[in-house]
Structure 1
Amino acid sequence: MAARVEACTPCHGNQGQGTNDVYFPRLSGKPSGYLFNQLLAFKNGRRKYPPMNYLLEFLTDPYLQEMADYFAEQHPPLPPPAPSDVSEAVLRHGQTLVTRGDPVRQIPACGSCHGPALTGMEPGIPGLLGLRPNYISAQLGAWRYGTRTAKAPDCMQQVASRLTEADVTAVAAWLAARPAPVSIAPAPKGTYVLPFACGSEPD
């Protein structure tokens, strides 16, 4: 499989560790179920990015699962935190949303779903560390405007639709500036209870 996924390396780096391109995410170490769901979404056109749609269109679901399993098993170190060009006030706002949310606007803390260490949880919730701020902003924007969707109930769309542009900037900047925790592995399934039902994490 390592040889077969070499076509992924120009965008996603060796072992899926990511590259300097701000718009292509790290794949390595994310839960296999999450990666498989994303591959299916590109294959079926629910996520729209023509190069990915074309590459995956004729691959079988079992093969996509093998690809997901391969990248989930890779654990290269996270890249160093991205330098931030936003103010301390913006970073504090991002920290508040990530760690405490905003109950008045019914925005849960990012950590309530993605874990206290922000490393995700098996089988379908990804970690949020090691990503560039532009990528995080782009994905939150896609959730907000409905160009990225997930299985119902689409919890990310529900949360992102309540975020402002300033919220997105702050969350992306604070997450991208986080150092790596001691362990970057996703938490085992059932480690914590999600604040609401989510289609990516069935019972």
Structure 2
Amino acid sequence: MATIYDLKPRFQALLRPIAGRLVHIGATANGVTLAALILSVAQGAAIALWPDARWPLLLLPITLFVRMALNAIDGIMAKEHGQKTPVGALFNELSDVVSDAALYLPFALIAGVNAPLVVLVVIVSVIAEMVGVLGPMIGASRRYDGPFGKSDRAFAFGALAVLLGIGLTPGLWTTLVLAAMLALAILTVWNRARRALAEAAQ
């Protein structure tokens, strides 16, 4: 199933020169991963501290784009510049999960937004990432199947943030959007598990 993740090769091609320059000045892939994590936690904290303010929500899409760029850059640095390490692999996967939780859980603090649904979306998304990571343990590859991978979640929550940030009042529509996110996250868990098992069986 198609997902925004499929655009990653083109995105990486645009960022490859930046990655090369960062390596040239002595930056490391783990340092870039750490920067993305700090940025995500700071953005999430802004929404959590000012849940009634519009500016943190309107800032979120920019933060998500920068985070996505940093995630692509650290991957290029690790794979193409000899910086790939076991520590970096663990840190990369853990930071992705922590960043998602930090960025999206604060939506539960916004008045009128269905808090239990927000929490469920984040929990099921973490499970989806765990299923993806467990692929190599059963003889399959790391699974990135959709329809609600990391990039898709970023797009969905970024769009939701913009709608709330421009003044739309939370209500039934936000509940329906979150319910759709939850359904897509559950489908993602199923797809990743099914395809990992199928790949391992081959």
Computing the radius of gyration over CA atoms, which structure comes out larger, 1 or 2?
2
Relative to the length of structure 1, the TM-score reads 0.30
Relative to the length of structure 2, the TM-score reads 0.30
